[in-house]
Amino acid sequence: MINSPHIRRLDASRLELLPSYKQGMNASAVVYVDAELEALVEDRALDQIANAAALPGIVGRALAMPDIHTGYGFPIGGVAAFDAGSGVISPGGVGYDINCGVRLLASSIEASSIKDIQSLASALYSRIPAGLGAGGGVRLDKHGGEAPLIKGAAWAVEQGFGRKEDLLHAESFGCMDGANPHAASRRALERGRDQLGTLGSGNHFLELQEVTDIFDEAAAGAFGIFKGQLTVMLHTGSRGFGHQVCSDFMEVMRAAARRYGIQLADPQLAAAPFRSTEGQDYFGAMQAAANYAWANRQVLTGLTRDILGEALGLGENALGLRLVYDVAHNIAKLEEHVVDGKKVRVVVHRKGATRAFGPGHPELPAAYAAAGQPVIIPGDMGRASYLLAGTSAALAETFGSACHGAGRALSRHDATRRARGRNIAEELAAKGVWVRSSDPATLGEEMPEAYKDVELVVKVIAQAGIARKVARFRPLAVIKG
C-alpha cells in the first residue's frame, strides 16, 4: 500500500498526488486504482506522473489510468493536457510507438462454427508479416510514399484494403489533418517504406476471439456485438517510422527545452512550447506517423478479411467482418474541453491511454451517438479482453480518456526470466488458446502473468464511471511477432 502524507485516497477508485508530493508540480495528479491495484503501482511510475504535472501550461490535473506502469518520460497509462497557447508538447508524453492502437472487427458468424481454429491461425500467420523489424508489407516508392502519411486509413481504402465505411468507425476517421511528412527525417521515411501491412513484435498481436458476455444490450446492439460471435482484435502501430520520429525529436526537444528555459524534472520529458517551431515540427511529424499507423491497421484489416474469407470459404457478405472501432494510444491531439466551466483548447497527451468520448460527441458515428464511443481494452494472451463505452463523466473528468489495456505487472526482463524453461505456447494451448509467433522469446515477454488482471483494471474504470462495460471476449488464437 502506498504510504505518503502527500498522497490521499479520494474514493475507492482514485488516489490524488498533492502538489506537495514533488517539488515543481504545477498541478495535482490523480491515479485511478483501487486498493488491490494500488499494491502494483511502482514508485517510479508515480514519480513520472508527478513530473508530467510539473510541465509548463498543464490544464486541470495530470492523470494515470489503472494500467499505469513505468514508461519513458510519462508513465504508460498517463494522460495530461496542456494549454494550446501557453503549454508544451512532449514526445515522452506520446511515446516511441506513435498511434499504437487497437481495432475490433466483428463477423456475422458464431465462433462455434469454426471447426479448426488452429488451421485458421496458421493461415493468418503465414500471410501477415510479423516480427521485429519485419518488412514485406506494402512497399512505398520514393515518389508516392507520402500519401499514407497524409491520408491515413483513407489511402489504404483507396488501394483496395477495406471499405469507405471503415473510415467512419475509426478515431478521427483514421486521419489527422495537418500531418507534415517533411518534418520527418529521411531515416524515418526509409524505415517505414516497406512496413505498411506488418504486425511488428512485442505486445502487438492479431487475435481471434469469441464474445462470452454481454453487459449492456443496447450498446452491444448499436456496436453490432452478440454473444457467441467470432471477432478479431488487432493491435499495432506506426512501426519503425514512428519510432524514428520519436528518436529524432527527443534530441531536438532537449535542445529546445534549454533554449526556452523549460525546467525538466526528468530529461525524458524533453518538451518545447506547442506553438514554437520545434513544437509544430514535432506535431506535424507525429501526425504523419499517426496516419501511417492508421494506414497500417487498415491494410491489415483488408488482408485479414481476405485470409479469413478464403480459409472459411465465405464471401464478404457471409463473413461480414465489419470494423466496430479503431482507437489510438500514444498520441497528442488538439481538442476542446470544458475545464472549470470554461472551454479551452488543449493538447491532450495520451500515452498508453485511449480516448473515451461520451454519448452525443460529434466525432462519433451516428449509430453510436446514444451509446458513446467504443473503448477497446485488450487483456493478455490467456485472459479476456473487453469492449466498453465512453461516458460524459470521462469528458468532464479525464479529457475523455480511459485505459488502453491491462498494463504490465512484470518488466520484459523479469517476464523472460520467469518463463525460462517453460513452453508458453503449450501452456496456452492447454487452455484452448492457439498461439503462433516468429520468436519464442516474445511469448516469454508477453506471457499472461506479465500483465495485470484485466478484470481488475476494467472494474476500476467502470467503478469510476469513465466507461461502462459492454462485452467480454475470450481468446481463441493469437498471432504474435
pLDDT of the residue at 129: 81
This prediction's pTM: 0.96
CATH number where 200 lies = 3.90.1860.10
pLDDT of the residue at 445: 92
For the chain, the domain total comes to 1
Q: Is residue 2 part of a domain?
A: no
Q: Is residue 200 part of a domain?
A: yes
Q: Is residue 124 part of a domain?
A: yes
Q: Which residues are catalytic?
A: 404
pLDDT of the residue at 132: 61
C-alpha cell at 352: 498508453
Q: Is residue 98 part of a domain?
A: yes
Give the residues of the chain that fall short of pLDDT 70.
1, 131-137, 139, 141-144
Q: Is residue 28 part of a domain?
A: yes
pLDDT of the residue at 398: 98
Q: Is residue 385 part of a domain?
A: yes
C-alpha cell at 276: 514554437
pLDDT tens-digit profile of 372-394?
A: 999 999 999 999 999 999 999 99
Query: How far is the C-alpha of 451 from the C-alpha of 378, rounded, in Å?
Result: 11
Distances (CA, A) of 295 to 70, 123, 149, 160, 245: 29, 22, 8, 12, 17
pLDDT of the residue at 135: 55
CB 399 within 8 A of CB 60: yes
Query: How far is the C-alpha of 257 from the C-alpha of 274, rounded, in Å?
Result: 12
Query: How far is the C-alpha of 204 from the C-alpha of 131, rounded, in Å?
Result: 9
Q: Can you give the residue range of the structural domain that contains 45? A: 7-480
Q: Is residue 163 part of a domain?
A: yes
Q: Is residue 1 part of a domain?
A: no
Q: How big, in percent rounded to 5, are the helix, strand and coil portions of the chain? A: 35, 25, 35
